[in-house]
Amino acid sequence: MSLSKIKLRINGKEIEAEVEPRKLLVHFLREDMGLTGTHVGCDTSNCGACTVLLDGRAVKSCTMLAVQADGREVTTIEGISSGDDMHPLQKAFIEKHGLQCGYCTSGMILTSFWLLSKNNNPTEEEIRKAISGNLCRCTGYQSIVESIKYGAQLMKEEEKGEQEIRVR
Amino acid sequence: MTTLNWKEGDLAYDSSLFVRGKGHFVDDLKIPGTLYMSVLRSPYARARILSIKGGINGSELKAKMASVGEGADPSQTVSIQPVFATGYVNYVGEPVAAVFGDDRYKATDLLENVEVDYEPMKPVVTIDDALRLPPIHEGMKSNILVQSSRGSDFKDPDSPIVLEDTLENERVATNPIEPRGIVASYSDGMLNVWVSTQSVHSIKDGLVESLGLRPDAVRVMQTDTGGAFGSKGGLYPEYVIASYASMKYGRPVKWIETRREHLSSTNPGRGVRGKVKIFAERDGRIMGLKGDVLVDAGAYGTGIASFSAGFIAMMMTGPYSIENGYVIGRSVLTNKVPQGPYRGAGRPEASFFIERMVDLLADELKMDPADVRLANMSDKPFTSPLGMKIEPAKPFFESAVRELEYRREAKLTNGVGLSFFVLVPAVYPGESARIIVKDGMVKVWLGGNSHGQGHENFARKLVNEELGVPESIVTLFRGDTGMTLDGVGSWGSRSAIVGGAAIVAACRKIKRKVEKESGNYSPELLLSGSYDEFVYEEQKIPLNSFGANLATVEIGKLGNVKIKKCAAYYDVGRALNRDMVIGQIQGGMAQGIGQTLHEGLYYNDDGQLITSSISDAGVPLAEDLPNFTVKIAEHRSSLPHGAKGLGESPTIGVPTALIRAIEVASGKRLRKTPVTPEELIQ
Ligand code: FES
Ligand code: FES
């Protein structure tokens, strides 16, 4: 099968690659890029385990081809924090036990990342609605909802902290 | 093992890695030269195979499945599943051949090269078909896989109230979000296997038996396991095939299940029907219970199905002091994927049967359901005629009624359900643990393997308590048959009990060694030395515990059920980690709601699976679920660390409370899960 050239940004890095036109974005990320934090949980775009950010928007990377990401910006779970630092949402999921087996976690965090980028103070109902394209079989969702609420709070605190530093 | 992309430190349980996307799930494992496996599966529920060409198939690999894992019954012979269908296919999704390619896309392409000729036959699809039609397997007299009974038959007491009903739980797909998967790598006479599992020892024993390998030539290692709920406890055909192929080709072989394969080919749970008759007095006392339980075993008797029938029968009087009981349990063969354990594995079914009858009796007598329950409880221990031992039930139930604020809810709400149950954890025969102390660190392995429950938390805590070392130097590693000689598995609400007891025993053994060497014990003495202890701690007393649930609902015009309140009050023994306990309970409550309202695995008259996606199968969404109210009682068990079981409590107690709430709110007698909106508005 002939290969297609694609150029995109993944987690802030410029990437050029050759892929089979039929390859799904999720397989490109996991297998060619070694970004195994993006998971596969279904074959009908129901579970959300494969969620990534495409130009800042949460999408299911099993529903698109790698070639469709040409020229775009992809952020995976590995890209929302660097080194030992953690994004407030990551901290919140640990502290509020927003995970058990951990398989749905990357997708949950990226979907809530997107939610909070649009709405930094979501209600419980808005959170539940936003993550209803992401299935979790372990937690019953309550601790995930609490994690997202807490993450929103941490993000606001962090922002405030940064503003104060800037003011000073 | 040098070609792995994982180092030793990557083999520990560390849930903080998941938020960074740095877990170690089986599909994340990369070994150069890996072949990807795709499985060609039967499109028919039942057919004669006239010919197969291509791939590895049953003419080459003639192995049979070994019966291992939860509820395994090695006595089954005629109905044992072949690894590849041979002669006949017996369910949609049964493996017929396997092909191997350099990547997953190529492997899928290669499926086209396999040619199979089938001659379709009339399938046995339902329990009634199974009882009526000739056996699906040659060499059997009927489709009855096992028949057993509990208690002894008794003359019908001449009670004023006699009630009879037929109750049913539809099959449920376990649906962990991570499907099944395996990597098998054979080199230098050693088969190394990485697998998403609840029990590395079951998988190892199964491979050894199925492929006739030497036990010391097989090592099975657990990867991070993305949920399991019973379905990853035992051997599956794909594991045997991948291992065989790796030995044949001298390359690592990876197989990752798709969701569609999961629905058609991973053992689902439930699928049980019970006819129950109770004899009662006007004051609510049940004088006797007779039951006839039928388990839809699916096409082969390799798994838990043959065990289920007797197990359910044993628990049919629930937590109640019913003096006369006689239950016949039968598992029957149908042309569907073999049944397996799903969180609760027989316990929710038994509880569904008795609780539905107690509620029916309350309605008949116009008594409050809590009072009918109270009329059948004792403040003394009780041994049921079916062989179950229970502690005094009354004191716990009375506190549950208070803690769940049942009386108040019952006054306020039209649509409240209350349930009561006894959890029988699968403690037998015990569990293993190994502890190595070296270079100032404590490393722990357990025979049964965590898959989201966070066993590392209780491991650290118990080592800290027993040996006085800080939790920060204690690490629990994922299951590895190279590190534990023997072991059982994580299922049946057992791990905190038996895994915990094994850790305590191993710690005490080490402590005695330190004392013997040095005359006394201190953590410093311990950490300055090297110790390595393996224990297999036997456990035969079941350590049953009680639990109760309450649910309140409203029903919309279209028959949609809105859950207002879903509450639990469980005796969890000593809670080794409160957050983990609450998390387990909440997750299980979601599954209890799922079974009651949404989840089913449906086949049509031709035995074709018509449930085609994880959403179709009814896994609940965040929007579908309420917040849960969870309360726990901590009545320590007789074990040194005081633990009891809890993992399955919510899947036992929630369906019975919730279906009762719906029954009251709708005014319709409900006999089956899942409850559909259609039946509520009919
Ligand atoms: S893998 Fe399930 S939605 Fe993408
Ligand atoms: S934590 Fe297991 S699926 Fe969500």
B2-121+179-228+232-257 maps to CATH 3.90.1170.50: yes
Task: Choose the closest CB to A135 out of B177, B256, B587.
Answer: B177
DSSP state of B135: P
A47 in contact with ligand 1, CB cutoff 6 A: yes
Residue at token pair 């029957």: B332
This complex has an ipTM of 0.97
Tell me how far apart the terminal alpha carbons of chain A are, to the nearest angstrom. 59
Distance CA B635, CA B393 (A): 13
Distance CA A89, CA A106 (A): 11
Task: Please name the residues between 626 and 655 in chain B that touch chain A, using a CB distance below 8 Å.
Answer: 627-628
The tokens for B145 are: 């896989």
Distance CA B332, CA B135 (A): 10
Q: How far is the CA of A52 from the centre of ligand 1 (A)?
A: 11
Task: Write down how long chain A is.
Answer: 168
The tokens for B20 are: 């960074």
Q: What is the pLDDT of residue B2?
A: 40
Helix (H) or strand (E) holding B32: none
Distance CA A153, CA A148 (A): 9
- For B573, the 3-state DSSP assignment is strand
Distance CA B248, CA B266 (A): 25
What's the topology of domain B269-424+542-681? Aldehyde Oxidoreductase; domain 4 (3.30.365)
CATH architecture assignment, domain B430-538? 2-Layer Sandwich (3.30)
Is B580's pLDDT higher than 60?
yes
A102 in contact with ligand 2, CB cutoff 6 A: yes
Is B5's pLDDT higher than 50?
yes
DSSP state of B473: G
User: Who's near A162: CB < 8 A, 6+ residues apart?
Assistant: none
Task: Give the helix ranges, DSSP H, for B284-432.
Answer: 305-314, 347-365, 369-375, 394-403, 406-412
Is A168's pLDDT higher than 70?
no
What tens digit of pLDDT does each residue of B337-364 get? 999 999 999 999 999 999 999 999 999 9
Distance CA A48, CA B37 (A): 24
Torsion of CA B604, B608, B610, B613, to 10 degrees: 160
Task: List B567's β-bridge partners, or say none.
Answer: B550, B629
Phi, psi of B8 (to 5 degrees): -60, -40
Give the closest-approach CA distance of A84 to chain B in angstroms: 10
Q: Domain limits of chain B?
A: 2-121+179-228+232-257, 269-424+542-681, 430-538
For range B473-485, the mean pLDDT? 97
Residue at token pair 């969180």: B343
Q: What is the pLDDT of residue A10?
A: 98
Q: Please state at what angle helix A142-167 crosses helix A88-95, rounded to 10 degrees.
A: 140
Taken in order of first residue, the domains within chain A and their CATH numbers are 4-79 (3.10.20.30), 88-167 (1.10.150.120)
User: Who's near B622: CB < 8 A, 6+ residues apart?
Assistant: A127, A128, A129, A131, A132, A134, A136, A141, A144, A145
Q: How far is the CA of A62 from the centre of ligand 1 (A)?
A: 5
For range B617-645, the mean pLDDT? 97
Kindly list the distances between the CA atom of residue B317 and the CA atoms of B291, B358, B503, in Å, as whole numbers in the listed order.
10, 10, 34
Candidate from A159-168, B190-199, B523-532, B594-603 with smallest mean pLDDT:
A159-168
Q: Is A121 on the interface with B (CB under 8 A)?
A: no
Closest-CA residue to B111 (of B131, B92, B97): B97
Distance CA B122, CA B131 (A): 15
Q: How far is the CA of A102 from the centre of ligand 2 (A)?
A: 5
Task: Please name the residues between 561 and 580 in chain B that touch chain A, using a CB distance below 8 Å.
Answer: 579-580
DSSP state of B641: T
* Residue pair B131/B143 in contact by the 8 Å Cβ criterion: yes
B628 contacts in chain A (CB < 8 Å): 140, 142
Domains B269-424+542-681 and B430-538 share a fold: yes
Task: List B120's β-bridge partners, or say none.
Answer: B47
Confidence of residue B597 (pLDDT cuts 50, 70, 90): very high
Phi, psi of B520 (to 5 degrees): -150, 180
Helix (H) or strand (E) holding B99: strand B95-101
Closest-CA residue to B216 (of B488, B485, B532, B11): B485
User: Who's near B63: CB < 8 A, 6+ residues apart?
Assistant: B82, B83, B210, B211, B240, B244
Q: Decide the pairing of beta strands B35-41 and A13-19.
A: unpaired
For range A74-78, the mean pLDDT? 98
Distance CA B489, CA B199 (A): 4
DSSP state of B520: S
What average pLDDT does the structure give for chain B? 96
Distance CA B569, CA B572 (A): 9
pTM for this predicted structure: 0.97
Look at the alpha carbons of B194, B200, B202, B208 in this order and tell me if their dihedral is positive or negative. Answer: positive
Phi, psi of B76 (to 5 degrees): -70, 135
What tens digit of pLDDT does each residue of A78-128 get? 999 988 899 999 999 999 999 999 999 999 999 999 999 999 999 999 999
User: Who's near A153: CB < 8 A, 6+ residues apart?
Assistant: none
